Chains A and B, each alone.
Chain A
Amino acid sequence: MSDNTTGTSSHGTGPFIAAIDQGTTSSRCIVFDRDGRIVAVDQKEHEQIFPKPGWVEHNAAEIWVNVQEVVAGAISKAGITKDDVKAIGITNQRETTLLWDKNTGEPVHNAIVWQDTRTDALTRELGRNVGADRWRRETGLPLSTYFAGPKARWLLDNVEGLRERAERGDILFGTMDSWVIWNLTGGTNGGAHVTDVTNASRTMLMNLHNMEWDQRICESMGVPSVMLPEIKSSAEVYGTAKGGALDGVPVASALGDQQAALFGQCCFSEGDAKSTYGTGTFMLMNTATKPVNSYAGLLTTVGYRIGDQPAVYALEGSIAVTGALVQWMRDQMGLIKTAPEIETLASSVDDNGGAYFVPAFSGLFAPHWNPDARGVITGLTGYVTKAHIARAVLEATAWQTREISDAMTKDSGVELTTLKVDGGMTANNLLMQTLADVLDAPVVRPLVAETTALGAAYAAGLAVGFWPDTEALRANWRRAAEWTPQMDKGVRDREYKNWLKAVDRSKGWLDESDV
């Protein structure tokens, strides 16, 4: 991201909303104007700490310092003062877990990042007699290493004396939204210990139906509820900033990053869906005010909640390997020099030549859930060239999206009408066209690429009346490009069938003894 995104024409004189995006690799602050245009950006990376294979940690104190710096940086680049900023919104890497001492404000341990797999044994233990779906009905989630509750339990079990301190009420739990908001609003000096419904829905501790901490699950998980933050909506004033570049400005939204992108893409109606194409892919579909139970292995999650309006739920499906497969073609196979060149190579042929690539590098996820699967390239003949494989690489992303979209339709009964896309891979025209072709639905890219930060800004702006309602936000939404389906139904059906055959070939590769 270059920092010269201030644009070419004047952005007027404000007022503005500042969004803090506390992400996995960096923290950023983006200032938006009333039209949703970016006025200034500042960004700072933080250290990725790998103490052991499979472990990933962040230094939360470093992150808080960075957040303060990028806020000051963005305000100064925008050439404005805190009086021009009507609210602060927060979006964050989801599930990353921190415990800190409420009297000193010091973290008791590095934050455990969402990718960290140290709770593998613990989550299997928690599911022991019942299986991974033990708390799916209450939380919408399967037991897995991603979610925050088991990470908190791990810290309580492994940091000397921590459980006693927690039970005495000296320790606070939070995902990164809570940490940033608590510090912004004063920290040890009366900081607000809160989280929003979307972040709380990724802890495995919140009951999706009443939006409260589930006492029974907290007990089984071994997480004392005294340390949990208060669950708030995604768009309301949690407090005001104390000190720093935005002293006195209301802190008015929090959303997990994928939910923020859903909000920034203006997916406010039932059936609206967005998909973010980066290293991996996250697709979320708005299912309105009912949590849809998934039988296809999707996650049920809170999409957002505005003030005291009813919560809006979403179904979520993720694809582990999308942009990562393009990187694999570049770094492991050496078939391309840069990621965008995959399109050049793939465009040199008209079709996949009969080849299909199922990148089940670490098993198959939704909707197949086959951990024993491994990647396959199938349908090979002497005719197939590297260009056909490049095409199969792009088609793999498209077909996996189709499978998730089908699962969402099956679970919710709602047909996908249009898919809104964002992320680095949307620069790939061939991929976007293929996506429209296999989904048999238009694919639309919005004009603002920063949908995550925009979503946080929108929610904060709604909370303080900067924008009146979601209709006003929709009016801001601009189409930058649209791809319409052009594939013949016969071809689509045949190709889908072939893809599913290829998926079958990837299943059950590992033997019991390999696992």
Chain B
Amino acid sequence: MAKNIQSLERAAAVLRLLAGGERRLGLSDIASSLGLAKATAHGILRTLQAEGFVEQEAASGRYQLGAELLRLGNSYLDVHELRSRALVWTDDLARSSGESVHLGVLHQGGVLIVHHVFRPDDSRQVLEVGAMQPLHCTALGKVLCAFDPVAHNEAIEGRRPSLTARTVTLPVPFEAELAAVRERGWASDVEETWDGVSAVAAPIRDRHGMAVGAIAVTGASERLGVPGAAAGAAGRPEAAGVRPDLAAAVRDCARGVSRDIGNGRF
């Protein structure tokens, strides 16, 4: 693994220092607090200033956090906004697939379910909004790990417990699986989290192409699986082990939501 970039680490330390309170700090305070040469600290501050992350007060020459940083912080997509935009699309996916639909986002090292549409039959179901799912083995989690570097790090650094006989836990096969997900543009979970249950998921991307969430169809393996692939010990599951038409439907739905939240490239 490559070493971290020192100047970026130092810049982050400067920002943290400035975010530490109401204070505005002078160059020498900053340099001495972080144990940096004045020239080094100045170079960092100048660069951050050019990016708008830091501002210098004209009168005193002291530094404070810049407006660009606030803008960055606020531009993250509100999950409730995401649910509102996804509502029509996910309803339609549930109806066309005949299965339940979940929308998840990365949250504290796992997948937080922010929207859930029941499987459209008459069975009793419980709303799972607010529940957490594991990152490393669910279809939603794999999509997030494959397309969001933060999720990827959390899954690599976190625990990857074995939940069924099929759960992929070791780093090398896990990375291989994520590479396949990136290649295909969607992820599957064939009984890797719950016995008898499969899922297929695709990413929702924001304006900047960032994977801000994922949409999954989840159901019994005998309905979602490629015939003969999922069930039984005999024979390895094909490519991803789920019906290609479902994968296409999930991707269409996720693209629709992406378009609605401003990603015009889909």
A contacts, CB < 8 Å to B: 1-2, 4-5, 7-9, 37-38, 337-344, 424, 426-429, 447-449, 478-483
8 A-B pairs (CB sep. < 8 Å): A2-B256, A8-B248, A8-B249, A38-B92, A338-B78, A338-B81, A427-B80, A447-B95
Contact in complex: B256, A448 (CB < 8 Å): no
CA distance A337 to B94 in the complex (A): 30
Contact in complex: B120, A482 (CB < 8 Å): no
CA distance A403 to B245 in the complex (A): 48
Q: Which residues of A contact B81 (CB under 8 A)?
A: 338, 340-341
Q: Which residues of A contact B252 (CB under 8 A)?
A: 8
Pick from B83-91, B171-179, B183-191, B203-211 the stretch touching chain A: B83-91
- In the complex, the chain B residue whose C-beta lies closest to that of A450 is B88
Contact in complex: A4, B256 (CB < 8 Å): yes
Knowing A8-B248, A479-B118, say if A343 contacts B92 (CB, 8 Å): no
Q: Which residues of B contact A344 (CB under 8 A)?
A: 78-80
**Minimum-distance CB pairs A-B, first 10:** A8-B249, A340-B80, A478-B120, A427-B84, A9-B96, A343-B80, A340-B81, A340-B84, A8-B96, A7-B96
Q: Which residues of A contact B96 (CB under 8 A)?
A: 7-9, 37
CA distance A8 to B259 in the complex (A): 16
CA distance A8 to B217 in the complex (A): 13
Contact in complex: B84, A481 (CB < 8 Å): no
CA distance A429 to B84 in the complex (A): 10
B260 contacts partner chain A, Cβ-Cβ < 8 Å? yes
Contact in complex: B95, A427 (CB < 8 Å): no
B200 contacts partner chain A, Cβ-Cβ < 8 Å? no
Chain B 223-266: CB-based contact to A (< 8 A → 1; otherwise 0): 00000000000000000000001001100110010011000000
- B131–chain A nearest beta-carbon distance, Å: 12
Beta-carbon contacts under 8 Å, B71-115 to A: 74, 78-81, 83-84, 87-88, 91-97, 115
- B143–chain A nearest beta-carbon distance, Å: 18
Q: Which residues of B contact A426 (CB under 8 A)?
A: 87
Knowing A9-B96, A9-B245, A340-B81, say if A480 contacts B91 (CB, 8 Å): yes
- In the complex, the chain A residue whose C-beta lies closest to that of B74 is A337
Q: Which residues of A contact B125 (CB under 8 A)?
A: 479, 482
CA distance A2 to B261 in the complex (A): 12
Contact in complex: B88, A481 (CB < 8 Å): no
Number of interface residues of B (CB under 8 A): 34
Is the contact region of chain B dominated by helix, strand, or loop, or is it mixed? helix
B136 contacts partner chain A, Cβ-Cβ < 8 Å? no
Contact in complex: A449, B129 (CB < 8 Å): no
Q: Which residues of A contact B151 (CB under 8 A)?
A: none
Chain B 163-203: CB-based contact to A (< 8 A → 1; otherwise 0): 00000000000000000000000000000000000000000
Contact in complex: A37, B260 (CB < 8 Å): no
- B62–chain A nearest beta-carbon distance, Å: 30
CA distance A340 to B87 in the complex (A): 12
CA distance A340 to B88 in the complex (A): 15
- In the complex, the chain A residue whose C-beta lies closest to that of B124 is A482
Contact in complex: A480, B249 (CB < 8 Å): no
Q: Which residues of A contact B256 (CB under 8 A)?
A: 2, 4
Contact in complex: B95, A37 (CB < 8 Å): yes
- A230–chain B nearest beta-carbon distance, Å: 38
B67 contacts partner chain A, Cβ-Cβ < 8 Å? no
Given contacts A340-B84, A427-B80, 19 further A-B contacts (CB under 8 A): A2-B256, A5-B88, A8-B93, A9-B245, A38-B92, A338-B81, A340-B83, A342-B80, A343-B80, A344-B79, A427-B83, A429-B83, A447-B120, A449-B88, A478-B121, A480-B120, A481-B118, A481-B127, A482-B127
Knowing A1-B88, A449-B91, say if A341 contacts B78 (CB, 8 Å): yes
B116 contacts partner chain A, Cβ-Cβ < 8 Å? yes
CA distance A5 to B260 in the complex (A): 13
Q: Which residues of B contact A449 (CB under 8 A)?
A: 87-88, 91
B65 contacts partner chain A, Cβ-Cβ < 8 Å? no
- In the complex, the chain B residue whose C-beta lies closest to that of A346 is B80
